[in-house]
Amino acid sequence: MAEVRREVFGQLPPEQGGGVVEKFVLESDSVRVEILSLGCIIAALETKGRDGEFSDVVLGFDTLEGYTRKHPFFGAVVGRVANRIAKGRFTLDGKEYQLFLNNGPNSLHGGARGFDKVLWSPQVLPNGVCFFRLSPDGEEGYPGDLKVWVTYTLSGRELAINYRAQTTKTTPISLTNHAYFNLAGQGSRDIYDHEISIEADSYLPVDDTKIPTGEVAAVQGTSFDLRQPVELGKHFQKFHLDGFDHNFCLQQAQARRLVARACHPPTGRTMEVHTTQPGIQFYTGNNLDGSLKGKGGVTYPKHSAFCLETQNWPDAVNKPHFPTALLQPGEEYNHTTWFLFNT
């Protein structure tokens, strides 16, 4: 069983709504996780290498200040809709909705003040913590009162994140956690010596604003074929890549399945990602630029972390042939993702 402790992490400034931000520490023999009530943020995740030593493998900040300033969603739960919605627009039942544009011409990760920037109400569980919030009708332009529960549980080497939601009006929803991983330890210079594999036969090509074109393309014979592990640095060189920021299409099944694996041979750390979601966004920290000072005063340069964000396909609300992103009244949105750490 995991142990759970709670402590005060800081106080939000009045202009951000005020309120006490708590930190919840989940600890087993092999994994230690710190989660904030602000944005359900994973602020630290320590796991053992083959030498038996713990290292923190997620990017983030030592203090609340870092998280209240602009940052690229480090460790946060993003929503109502993760990823991009083209032109921030969609139509439901003949009515057009316009969202805030915060990513060029598009809406990204829930808008100006998404789920990552708000306080959630915590409830401590025997081996984890459940966060709740009500996203009111019209918040960030989305329809319906949306009740959302995000539950983190730690069991041995496995961290599970369960997302549940219920709505009073039909609304798009796609929730994910945006943790940035470096299995060498946060603050390590790059991820080029990591090996990555993703169990996907197809991916979504995107336009120059990162919106899927609508094509579902086979990975076979392309740089997107990650079905066998590739060493990232060599893979980038071989295909002249600037990095990945793409959705990989997973087998359509509501059951738990292994979808991705990351391995850092020098430390022996591995991470498996299992999920019930239909997609996974693989992002290699292309927009990190060394300007942010993270934990321990280290900077985070380009390609110093990767994200494996399990979610629905981007812009699905505008693409009828994508898996549906709509939640209807009387239904429940319910997805789980599991991160399994090993050496």
Residues contributing to the annotated binding site: 83-84, 178-180, 245
Cβ neighbours of residue 29 under 8 Å, at least 6 residues apart?
Answer: 156
Please state the residue numbers annotated as binding site for beta-D-galactose: 83-84, 178-180, 245
Dihedrals phi, psi of 264, to nearest 5 degrees: -120, 90
For residues 37 and 135, is the Cβ–Cβ distance under 8 A? no
- Amino acid identity of residue 96, one-letter, is E
3-class secondary structure for 248-291?
EECCCCCCCEEEEEEEECCCCEEEEEEECCCEEEEECCCCCCCC
Residue pair 327/269 in contact by the 8 Å Cβ criterion: no
Which entry of 22, 140, 158, 309 is annotated as an active-site residue? 309
DSSP state for residue 11 in the 8-state scheme:
E
The span from the CA of 74 to the CA of 60, in Å, is: 6
**Cis peptide upstream of residue 133 (ω within 30 degrees of 0):** no
Catalytic residue among 109, 178, 264, 274: 178
Q: Which residues contact residue 45 at a Cβ distance below 8 angstroms, ignoring those fewer than 6 apart?
A: 31, 32, 33, 34, 56, 57, 58, 159, 179
Catalytic site includes residue 264: no
Answer yes or no: 7 catalytic: no
Residues involved in catalysis:
178, 309
